[in-house]
Amino acid sequence: AFGATSACPPEDLPAVAGAGFDFTFDVVGAPATLRTAWDATRRGGTVVVVGAGRMDAEVTFSPFELFYMERTLKGCVYGSADVRRDFHRFLDLWRTGRLELTPLISRRIGLGGINDAFAAMQAGEVLRSVITFD
| pLDDT at residue 2 in the model | 67
Q: What is the structure's pLDDT at 92?
A: 93
CA distances from 80 to 39, 59, 62 (A): 23, 22, 27
Q: One digit per residue, pLDDT tens: the chain, 134 residues?
A: 666 777 777 788 888 777 888 999 998 889 999 999 999 999 999 999 998 888 999 999 999 999 999 999 999 987 888 888 898 998 999 899 998 888 888 999 998 989 999 898 888 888 888 989 87
* Residue from 131, 90, 125 nearest 111 by CA: 131
Q: How far apart are CA 36 and CA 39, in angstroms?
A: 5
Taking the alpha carbons of 30, 74, 45, 71 in that order, is the dihedral positive or negative?
negative
* pLDDT, position 123: 86
- Judge if pTM exceeds 0.95: no
Instruction: For residue 99, give the DSSP letter.
Output: S
